[in-house]
Structure 1
């Protein structure tokens, strides 16, 4: 797809991309689109939000995370910019990996439920300079990478998301009012039991639901399975422990509910592309919090 996305698996033959969480990847990326279409020309799924801005048609396209997108709509007429971002970055460093529509209203447009995974919005002429300036500012910050650029790109992104939320207020109003509480309950269980052995069956039992029904609901609303959310939460907690403490790797694994340190290391590498020790070397402060 692009350097801003990482192929993590296939779902019924459809490639699924995730936003990298390695230390070298900024929280926001911008990819310029050319006349020959989108970077990925096959049907694909991405587990992160994407905004497409097309100046020729003065339109914004909101791509829903977790839905299969067919780029055939772009044909050979696409010219503009795609803004990719890690939604967890909007939480200001909080450990929870799911800034959901319940806790972060600026992300609610990305669960719009539109068939095909793309919500098409027409920009008023007066808003075109705002979007063009915002995207150019993102590109400048990402290119120069001066001190504070991560905070700057999140600030520019937030302004775009505020404008998007105002444009989509009517479109997603029904979804906001009928928000399914099951997903929030799943997240709450995983948060509470992140340091313990936990499976889909455990979560379903605690919520009084069958594993099959829970899987269907969570995947439909978030694009991920319950097990994938368990892993994502564990990896988020692991990154915080690796960066903020001198805790041994085996103890970090135990603290995130994984008793086998070797399995933890393999899972961490498959998720982030580097080992836990390498991650710590990149991001740990010079004087981490002492443990024990």
Structure 2
């Protein structure tokens, strides 16, 4: 894995870009811990690609945003592009045993509809849209699932190391199953935000979740959380890198993709069910975000449930 460090501006943390070489799979699995592939010694930084850090046992400290957290057994840190990981010391991960998995959206398969688009638009990558100065999202893998997580990542690492016949397909399969696990644990976005000390964002997401299927504006969200629209806009953008309206649109598109995939509802009806009454505007919005019309997306992704 070769990354390129971008020049700093003022006191901004370093940002690293990963551009896989031709023929290189855009996936890497690194052991985390003192004396492992990565021992924690690093400047404050962020990435332009997503990743996860999983610890099967307790030990050490992870620094993200402006916080330092003692690693507990089952900790899973979901690292979005733009998440700031704090400046660390070489002994931060002393006693820790874990894995880091980093990737680009292309790792899910170039032939899969939608994966050539930005990572934000892929359903399995939705947990990675929270990126910002607050640092990585912290989830907890249930005790009974922890051995499975460890063995899955070890199998991924083994495939990347030995590159046996079919390793590309095996890597994509292992990565997909890992992301399914992340997606299921991160389904309660509001609960995760409260757990990670972001009560205002939790309230905003709660309003969006309850009301995205009806006409909903920035002013209405601001009124619901008792804050001015201007203050809300600046706070949400600073915390997540996105505007309130972008989050409303994102939630609507998640539901639109689900309805396109599992129902035969007309496109206009789907637009109305996700809060966009103008069928033309719904189609244009969907096309802008996904690089194809709702009808074409359905053709590639529709699931026959009969």
- Range into which the TM-score falls when normalised by the shorter chain: 0.5 to 0.7
In the alignment, is the contact (CA less than 8 A) between 1:9 and 1:17 conserved in 2?
Answer: no
Q: Which whole-Å CA distance do the structure 1 matches of 2:242 and 2:98 have between them?
A: 29
Q: What CA distance in whole angstroms lies between the structure 1 residues aligned with 2:145 and 2:135? A: 24
TM-score between the two structures when normalised by the length of structure 1: 0.54
Check whether the contact 1:51–1:60 (CA below 8 A) recurs between aligned residues.
Answer: yes
Question: Does structure 2 conserve the Cα–Cα contact (< 8 Å) formed by 1:44 and 1:69?
Answer: yes
* Offset of residue 68 of structure 1: 1.8
Deviations 1:51-101 (A, max 9, x none): 001111221111121122115498234321100101233252469743443
Are the equivalent residues in 2 in contact too, given 1:141–1:152 (CA < 8 A)?
yes
* 1:5 corresponds to which of 3, 15, 18: 3
Length, aligned pairs only: 184
Asked if 1:131 corresponds to 2:149, the answer is yes
User: How many Å apart are 1:107 and its aligned residue?
Assistant: 0.6
**1:38 and 1:71 in contact (8 A); partners too:** no
Q: Give the match for residue 221 of structure 1.
A: 242
Rounded Cα–Cα distance in structure 2 between residues aligned with 1:96 and 1:160: 17
Q: CA deviation at 1:153?
A: 0.6
- Take 1:105 and 1:172, find their aligned partners in 2: how far apart are those partners? 18
Q: Does 1:107 align with 2:106?
A: no
Q: Which runs of 5+ in 2 are unaligned?
A: 58-72, 192-201, 210-233, 244-306
Aligned to 1:159: 177
Matched, 1:140 2:191: no
Q: How far off its partner does 1:114 sit?
A: 7.1
Q: Which residue of 2 aligns with 1:92?
A: 110
SS of the residue aligned with 1:117?
Answer: coil
Structure-2 residue corresponding to 1:69: 85
Taking the TM superposition and a 5 Å limit, the aligned residue runs for 1:140-219 are 140-171=158-189, 178=208
Residue 46 of structure 2: aligned partner: 45
Deviations 1:261-280 (A, max 9, x none): xxxxxxxxxxxxxxxxxxxx
Q: Relative contact order (alpha carbons < 8 A, sep ≥ 6): 1 or 2 greater?
A: 1
Q: Deviations over 1:176-223 (max 9, x none)?
A: 9859xxxxxxxxxxxxxxxxxxxxxxxxxxxxxxxxx9xx79x9239x
Instruction: Determine the C-alpha separation between the residues in 2 that align with 1:69 and 1:91.
Output: 28
Q: Is the CA contact (8 Å cut-off) linking 1:14 and 1:45 kept in structure 2?
A: yes
Q: Secondary structure of 1:10's match? A: coil
CA RMSD of aligned residues (A): 3.3
Question: For residue 14 of structure 2, what is the aligned residue in structure 1?
Answer: 15
Structure 1 counterpart of 2:267: none
Task: Tell me the distance in 2 between the aligned counterparts of 1:150 and 1:118.
Answer: 28
The 1:150–1:221 alpha-carbon spacing in structure 2 relative to 1, beyond 3 Å, is farther
Classify the secondary structure of the residue corresponding to 1:161.
helix
Secondary structure at the counterpart of residue 134 of structure 2: helix
- Please name the residue that 1:81 is paired with: 99
The separation in 2 between residues aligned to 1:168 and 1:138, in whole angstroms, is 22
The change in CA–CA distance for 1:30 and 1:109 in structure 2 (over 3 A counts) is: same
